[in-house]
Chains A and B, each alone.
Chain A
Amino acid sequence: MQTSDTLTRPGLNVVVLDPAHGGTDLGARGTGGIHESDIVLEFAAQVRTALEAQGFQVVQTRQGNANPSFDDRSAMANAQRGAIFVTLHIASTGTPGTARVYVMNDLPSGADATGLIPWDRAQAPFVSLSRKLADQVQVLLAQRFKGSPATAQTSSVRQLRTTAAPAIAVEISSVTVEDRGQLDHMAPGVADAIARGAAAFRPTYVVPANPGERP
C-alpha cells in the first residue's frame, strides 16, 4: 500500500527486485541440496518488506518458479521512470556469511542524437549512479556481515548491462553452507542493508525532468 508521501514525492520511488535464475535454471547448487533460485526468492520476500517499509513501491521480476530472460527482467526496470534495479544472487564461493555488491564495469556510451541508447549498453549512462548506490548498500552490509568488502566491486554481470537504471547485483556467500539456516539467518540483515542503502541513495538520484536529459 502506498502512502501519500510516496505518491507525491518526485524522483526515485520504485525498486525493481530481481530474484535471479528460476525455472529450470537453478543457479548455484550446494551439496546439501540448496538451490540459489529458491533462496533468492525467499530473500526477495524479506527485501521487499523492508523496501516497502522505507516507502518504496516494489516490482518483482518473478514471483514464483519462473525464469524470465535477462532482457525481460531488464525491460521491467526500463519501463519504469525513476526506478533502481537490484538483482539478488547466492554464490558458490566466498567466505560463508559475507555479502558483496557488484556494479557493471564502465561501458562505452552509444547514445545518439535522439536520446536513445543501444539496448546492449543501456547501463552505460547509469554506471556512476549505480556505483553510488552500490557503495551505500555495501557499507551497510560490511557493518553487519564481518569479512564483507568495504566497497562495491565491478564485474561484467550480464543482467546489469541491459538495465537503464541505477543497478546493482547483491551476492551472498554461499550455497556451500552445511546448514541452510545460516543463509536464512542472513536474510533480515541483507534486506535491511538494501532498503536503508536505497533510502540513503534516494536524495542523490534526481530523475531528469525533461526528455533528452542524461541522469
Chain B
Amino acid sequence: MMLRWRWWFLGALFFAVVIAAIYLPILRRNIKQAAKLQQRSEEQARRELTQPTVINPSDPKVKAKLFWASGADDGTVSAVVVDLPLANDPVLRSKQVLNTLLAGPVDMELRTLPPDAALLAFYLLPDGTAIADFSEALATSIPSGIESEQMAVDSIAKTLESNVPQVRRLKILIHGQEVETLAGHLDLSQTFLVNANAAVGPRASNLEAPASTTEAQQLTPVAAPVKLAASPDKPASKP
C-alpha cells in the first residue's frame, strides 16, 4: 500500500516537473516581452514629450543668431548666424531656435547646454515673460560652476533676444518645477531680463499658452516669497 502511494507521488512529481519545464520558459519570455513593451511605451512617451518642434521648410528663411561659447575661454558667448526657416508665431519660433541651440554648434567644444537636455515646454505670457521648461538633464549634466551656468543662461537668453522680439523676460523651469539654482550656483528663482524693449502686445501668443493668465502665473510667481532682512545699518537675523 505504502509502495503504491509512493509511485503515485513520484509520478505526480515527474508530471509537475515536465509541465514546469515546458511552461517556465514561456512565462519568462512573456515577462521579458511585457517589460520591453513597458520600457518602449515610456521611451515613446518621453520622445513624444521632448520631440523637437519640426522646422517647416515652407516658413521664410531668416538669418537666426544662435549663441554658443565664444571659444575664448573667458566665459562669454558669441553669435553664430544660421539660415533657418522660422515660424512667425513667437512660441513656435522660440521652440525652433531653442531646439537648434540644444542641438549644438558644429564644434561641440563650444556647447553651452548638455547634449542630453531637452526643451519640454515653452510658454509666452501676455506680459512678455517666457517660461522655458527644460528636462532634468539641463541641471544634472551641465558642468557645475558660476561661469558654466551663466554661459548656459546667457546662450538661451541672448538667442531668444535676437530671434524673438516678443520676449521680455525669461523664467527657466526644470522638469516643470521652479528650482533654486541651475547646478548649485546660478539663481533660477527669479526671471532673467531678455529685452527691456520687447514688443509686448495685448496677447503675445495664444499658442500652447496655459488656459488662463492666473494658471500661468501659478507656474511662475512674480516674486519669491518675501522674507525681510535688516537694512545695512542694523544687524539682521534670519526670519
Which residues of B in the span 165-195 have a Cβ within 8 Å of any Cβ on A?
180-181, 184-187, 189-190, 192
Given A79-B237, A119-B239, answer yes or no on A171-B228 (Cβ-Cβ < 8 Å): no
Chain A residues closer than 8 Å to B75, beta-carbon distance: 93-94, 100, 153
> Total A-B residue pairs with C-beta atoms closer than 8 Å?
149
Q: How far is the CA of A173 from the CA of B181 in the complex (A)?
A: 20
Q: Do the beta carbons of A80 and B231 come within 8 Å of each other?
A: no
Q: Do the beta carbons of B235 and A75 come within 8 Å of each other?
A: no
Q: How far is the CA of A173 from the CA of B148 in the complex (A)?
A: 11
Q: How far is the CA of A130 from the CA of B234 in the complex (A)?
A: 18
Besides the known contacts A92-B144, A156-B150, A158-B181, 5 further A-B residue pairs in the complex with CB atoms under 8 A apart:
A120-B224, A155-B150, A156-B190, A171-B145, A208-B232
Q: Within 8 Å of chain A (Cβ to Cβ): is B52?
A: no
Chain B residues closer than 8 Å to A25, beta-carbon distance: 184
Chain B residues closer than 8 Å to A155, beta-carbon distance: 146, 150, 186
Which label, helix, strand, loop or mixed, suits the secondary structure of the A interface? loop
Q: Distance (Å) between the CB of B13 and the closest chain A CB?
A: 54
| Residue positions of B touching A, CB distance < 8 A | 73-75, 143-148, 150-151, 153, 180-181, 184-187, 189-190, 192, 223-239
Q: Do the beta carbons of B180 and A164 come within 8 Å of each other?
A: no
Given A94-B75, A118-B228, A171-B147, answer yes or no on A210-B235 (Cβ-Cβ < 8 Å): no
Q: Distance (Å) between the CB of A172 and the closest chain B CB?
A: 10
Q: Distance (Å) between the CB of B151 and the closest chain A CB?
A: 8
Q: Distance (Å) between the CB of A86 and the closest chain B CB?
A: 14
Chain A residues closer than 8 Å to B230, beta-carbon distance: 78, 115-117, 164
Closest 7 CB pairs of A and B: A119-B227, A92-B143, A75-B238, A91-B145, A208-B233, A122-B229, A78-B236
List, sorted by A's number, 26 A–B pairs whose CB atoms are closer than 8 Å. A28-B143, A75-B237, A78-B229, A79-B237, A81-B234, A91-B143, A91-B148, A92-B143, A92-B145, A93-B147, A116-B230, A118-B226, A120-B224, A122-B236, A155-B186, A156-B150, A156-B187, A158-B187, A159-B185, A164-B229, A164-B230, A173-B147, A210-B233, A212-B233, A213-B233, A214-B232
Q: Within 8 Å of chain B (Cβ to Cβ): is A197?
A: no
Q: How far is the CA of A32 from the CA of B5 in the complex (A)?
A: 70
Which residues of A in the span 150-172 have a Cβ within 8 Å of any Cβ on B?
153, 155-159, 161-162, 164-165, 169, 171
Given A28-B143, A89-B145, answer yes or no on A116-B231 (Cβ-Cβ < 8 Å): yes
Given A81-B235, A115-B231, A118-B227, answer yes or no on A89-B146 (Cβ-Cβ < 8 Å): yes
Q: Distance (Å) between the CB of B58 and the closest chain A CB?
A: 39
Q: How far is the CA of A100 from the CA of B141 in the complex (A)?
A: 23
Q: Within 8 Å of chain B (Cβ to Cβ): is A189?
A: no
- Of the four ranges (under 10, 10 to 19, 20 to 34, 35 or more), the interface on chain A belongs to 35 or more
| Residue positions of A touching B, CB distance < 8 A | 20-21, 25, 27-29, 36, 70-72, 74-75, 78-81, 89-95, 100, 102, 110-111, 115-120, 122, 125-126, 149, 153, 155-159, 161-162, 164-165, 169, 171, 173-174, 207-215
Q: Do the beta carbons of B192 and A120 come within 8 Å of each other?
A: no
Q: Distance (Å) between the CB of B70 and the closest chain A CB?
A: 13
Q: Of B148, B153, B189, which contacts A93 at CB under 8 A? A: B148
Chain B residues closer than 8 Å to A93, beta-carbon distance: 75, 143, 145, 147-148, 151
Q: Do the beta carbons of B226 and A91 come within 8 Å of each other?
A: no
Q: Of A70, A78, A95, which contacts B180 at CB under 8 A? A: A70
Q: Do the beta carbons of B231 and A211 come within 8 Å of each other?
A: yes
Q: Do the beta carbons of A78 and B231 come within 8 Å of each other?
A: no
| Most B-side CB within 10 Å, residue of A27, A79, A94 | A94
